[in-house]
Structure 1
Amino acid sequence: MSAKDPDPAPELLSGAAAPCPGYPPALGESRLLTEAELQASLDCALSGWDGASDLWLFGYGSLIWNPGLPTVENVRSRVHGYHRGLYLWSRVNRGTPEQPGLVLALDRGGSCAGVAFRLAAEGVMPHLEALWRREMAMGSYRPAWLPCVLAGGRRVSALAFVMRRDVATYTGKLNDATVRTVLGCASGRYGTTLDYVRRTVEALRESGMPDRALEQLLARCA
């Protein structure tokens, strides 16, 4: 380095990533739903269920490779009217309040390929309660019954977790610089955002329904 060259920035010397405008986001205080609130949400979602018929659950992210509950049947499927994307800030599972991570959510528009899981009605409630504690802990999703087309043409109504746009943790459309920063630093209770995205990409490809947009995002930003 010549005498005229500027000193390298401290973050480059240390190997740390350069600051990214807008990250971390200002999300405000977080609050976990109480057991009573979780139960009320589950009861509301199941209000139209007869209690005797098997249930269908649509998985589009980590549920594909880690459903965490017993299933009778797993079938490739597609829902229309929603698409998959990194639209939810994660302050516990894949990040922290100081460095939020990202997880996938269904947002309006397009369509989404995933796996439909058939759950036996008998004995399903404890498993659904555990699923609710996993997916609905902060109330960022809206449980919804979506028309789902199974491989082979069968049509079922499947329970899915749809992004709520009225919560502070909804990201909207993020630029690559922000995603790259998150993939490089965010880690939470269940591991890093990067591992979460990679495992989902691999699971979708292994299931014969690769998500080209997610793969390209990972290639650009990882």
Structure 2
Amino acid sequence: MALTPDLVAPTIRPVPDEGPEPRWTPLPKAELDALVERVEAESGRGPIWIFAYGSLIWNPEFQFDAREVGTVFGWLRAFSLHIERWRASTEQPGLMMALERGGRCDGVVFRIAYSKRQNDLRTLLAREIRYREVVDMVRWVRVRTESGERKALTFWASTPRHQLTDRMPLAEAASIIAAACGPAGSCAQYLYNTVLHLEAEGIRDRNLWRLQQLVAEEIRCLFASP
């Protein structure tokens, strides 16, 4: 990898928490409860699998009793979600990953452990879906694995009507990712962790591999010694 911990380190800096994303509405408790009930109903009360393509791979924050590498067709991962919080700020907006239509996406599916299913599902939905505007970016997808096809829940699966995501040339995305940082860390750190853990699973995402090279170049320019 061109993007290394030494290159990522200077992108991480203290940034104050500015509150919720501007122009987005925090999801009220009643609506979160309704979302949990909806997912439970759509699951048919059977096992709930989660398709992870980014940070959930290395930081699921829920108990699981099975995991498999799998592929979703008709969707691909992209740094297309514009943010001004979390790993960004008003002064320095950033980009996070979402699923966009087209191609394929290799990732990991986890089966939520039944013993803590309801609690973990609610915690997971509260983590991923914090705003009313993105509730319908929770989506069921079909994941092909070596042991068969799984119906799995995934997050930030975008559609054109959302207008919250915008795919852009990799070079343009790289310049944003290299500079953005927020209270949760930097966008470059997020990219590094994603590529690193995908590689550990035997997954080489061609676009992300090229993107990490471009971000490494951008960081060298941004933080070059005078």
TM-score range, shorter chain: 0.7 to 0.9
Distance 2:149 2:170 in 1: 36
What are the equivalent positions in structure 2 for 1:152-163 lying under 5 Å apart? 152-161=146-155, 162-163=157-158
Which runs of 5 or more residues in structure 2 are unaligned? 1-20, 217-226
What are the equivalent positions in structure 2 for 1:129-144 lying under 5 Å apart? 129-138=122-131, 139-140=133-134, 142-144=137-139
**Superposition deviation, residue 84 in structure 1:** 0.7
Structure 2 residue identity aligned to 1:106: L
CA contact (8 A) 1:56 1:159 kept: yes
Partner deviation per Cα, 1:165-204 (whole Å, 9 max, x = no partner): 333431x222345323322321123210000011000000
- The one of 35, 40, 65 equivalent to 1:41 is 35
Structure 1 residue identity aligned to 2:66: E
Report the count of equivalent residues.
Answer: 193
**Structure 1 160/205 Cα, relative in aligned 2: closer, same or farther at 3 Å?**
same
Structure 2 residue identity aligned to 1:123: K
Q: Secondary structure at the residue paired with 1:104?
A: strand
**Superposition deviation, residue 58 in structure 1:** 0.3
**Structure 1 215/48 Cα, relative in aligned 2: closer, same or farther at 3 Å?**
same
Distance 1:32 1:218 in 2: 32
2:133 maps to 1:146: no
- The one of 171, 175, 178 equivalent to 1:181 is 175
Residue 4 of structure 1 is matched in structure 2 by: none
Q: Secondary structure at the residue paired with 2:33?
A: helix
Distance 1:220 1:112 in 2: 21
- The one of 22, 27, 30 equivalent to 2:24 is 30
CA contact (8 A) 1:146 1:160 kept: yes
- The one of 199, 206, 212 equivalent to 1:212 is 206
Identity of aligned residues (%): 30
Distance 1:104 1:45 in 2: 22
Distance 1:79 1:167 in 2: 21
Partner deviation per Cα, 1:96-116 (whole Å, 9 max, x = no partner): 233222111111111100000
**Superposition deviation, residue 72 in structure 1:** 0.5
**Superposition deviation, residue 57 in structure 1:** 0.5
Distance 2:104 2:178 in 1: 29
In the superposition, the TM-score normalised over structure 2's length comes to 0.78
Q: Secondary structure at the residue paired with 1:157?
A: strand
Q: Secondary structure at the residue paired with 2:75?
A: strand
Structure 1 residue identity aligned to 2:192: R
Q: Secondary structure at the residue paired with 1:163?
A: coil
Residue 161 of structure 2 is matched in structure 1 by: 166
2:92 maps to 1:93: no
Which of the pair is proportionally richer in helix? 2
Q: Secondary structure at the residue paired with 1:124?
A: helix
CA contact (8 A) 1:143 1:160 kept: yes
* Farther off after superposition, 35-44 or 56-65: 35-44
Residue 106 of structure 1 is matched in structure 2 by: 99
Which runs of 5 or more residues in structure 1 are unaligned? 1-26
Q: Secondary structure at the residue paired with 1:46?
A: helix
Distance 1:179 1:144 in 2: 25
Residue 222 of structure 2 is matched in structure 1 by: none
Residue 56 of structure 1 is matched in structure 2 by: 49
Structure 2 residue identity aligned to 1:74: R
In the superposition, the TM-score normalised over structure 1's length comes to 0.80
Q: Secondary structure at the residue paired with 2:190?
A: helix
Distance 1:35 1:137 in 2: 10
Runs ≥4 in structure 1, deviation > 4 angstroms?
Answer: none
Q: Which has the larger Rg?
A: 1
